[in-house]
Amino acid sequence: MDGALDYWDDSWKRLRRNRLAMAGLLILTLLLIFAIIGPSFSPYTYYETNLSSKNLPPSILHPFGTDELGRSLFVRIWWGARISLFIGISAALIDMVFGVFYGGIAALIGNKTEEVMMRFADMLHSLPHLLIVILLTVIMEQGITTIIIAMTLTGWINMARIVRTQILSLKEQDFITAARSIGASQTRILIRHLIPNCFGAIITTMTLTIPQAIFTEAFLSFLGLGVQAPIASWGTMASDGLSALSFYPWRLFFPAAFISTTMLAFNLLGDGLRDAFDPLFRK
């Protein structure tokens, strides 16, 4: 137990020394806070139209300006943050749960079962991920649930591969041999011993999966295959703003800036977590 606490304490200290990773963590914390409370700072809703106030530039009343229907971009940006973060985190969590157990079971069982399981994963991975997502969003009813299902259909494979590699390097170590010698079942060994020792790689991979999911959702919404009006999404706002770029640039600038900043922050944090948990960096 003390060793585990020392490991997490040491990793946290190393993460805090990484200024870029802490900057990413700060940005994401602020983004999450404003996604929760941001809309309450405005008297407008994300769907409220006012044609007399359409295409207004940023001002005190409308900090991010308004769109072609007079809707406040400030409110819609923060609603879009809720949707993007929800989809990104949900997809990453589903990928984590399925990928961890699939990769863990394959590595622990070994032999032909492992071979069959990983070749099946390779077959799925050979299919173009974005093409599968687009096809499912076209076939199924468009919405947040469909997007999450489409992204997680093959999104778990990378997590499964990483966990499998980690467990293959762990399962022959002395503490696993000792657990087997006292009669621990395969399930107990996997859940109590192997998976906890992979937490560093799991957390890092999940953190780097979130921005990919956010970008995929924004891309689908930009194409009109994702979140549908009147629900606010960064992708739909960027799509609407593109046609008005020459005359009303703020309509594209703000959603594009938030997409880019969020993805950058997650990647900075993910890189910092990878360095913090990497055994090569440990003393």
What residues contact residue 55 under an 8 Å CB cut-off, 6+ apart?
Answer: 65, 66, 67, 68, 244, 247, 248, 251
Nearest to 210 by CA among 259, 164, 257: 259
Higher pLDDT, 26 or 109: 26
pTM metric for this prediction = 0.85
Residue with tokens 């770029």: 245
Residue 62's φ and ψ, nearest 5 degrees, are -125, 90
Q: Please list the residues that pair with 72 across neighbouring strands.
A: 66
Annotate 28-42 with DSSP letters as a single string. HHHHHHHHHHGGGGS
Domain total in the chain: 1
CATH of the domain at 260: 1.10.3720.10
Q: Please list the residues that pair with 66 across neighbouring strands.
A: 72
Span 106-113, average pLDDT: 86
Q: Indicate whether 166 pLDDT > 60.
A: yes
Q: Is residue 2 part of a domain?
A: no
Q: Indicate whether 247 pLDDT > 80.
A: yes
pLDDT-derived band at 283, boundaries 50, 70, 90: very low
What's the chain's average pLDDT? 86
- pLDDT for residue 4: 56
Nearest to 73 by CA among 221, 263, 256, 219: 256
- What is the domain extent for residue 232? 11-37+71-281
Q: Per residue in 53-99, pLDDT tens?
A: 899 999 998 899 999 999 999 999 999 999 999 999 999 999 999 99
Q: Is residue 44 part of a domain?
A: no
Span 270-279, average pLDDT: 82
Q: Is residue 31 part of a domain?
A: yes
- In whole angstroms, give the CA distance from residue 265 to residue 244: 28
Count CB atoms within 10 A of the CB of residue 12: 11
Q: Is residue 43 part of a domain?
A: no
Q: Per residue in 205-219, pLDDT tens?
A: 999 899 999 998 888
Q: Is residue 16 part of a domain?
A: yes
- pLDDT for residue 275: 84
Q: Is residue 57 part of a domain?
A: no
- Find how far residue 96's CA is from the centre of its chain: 10
Span 36-62, average pLDDT: 88
Q: Indicate whether 3 pLDDT > 60.
A: no
Q: Is residue 6 part of a domain?
A: no
- Would you state the structure tokens that stand for residue 217, as one six-digit string? 């959702």
Q: Is residue 56 part of a domain?
A: no
- pLDDT for residue 7: 66
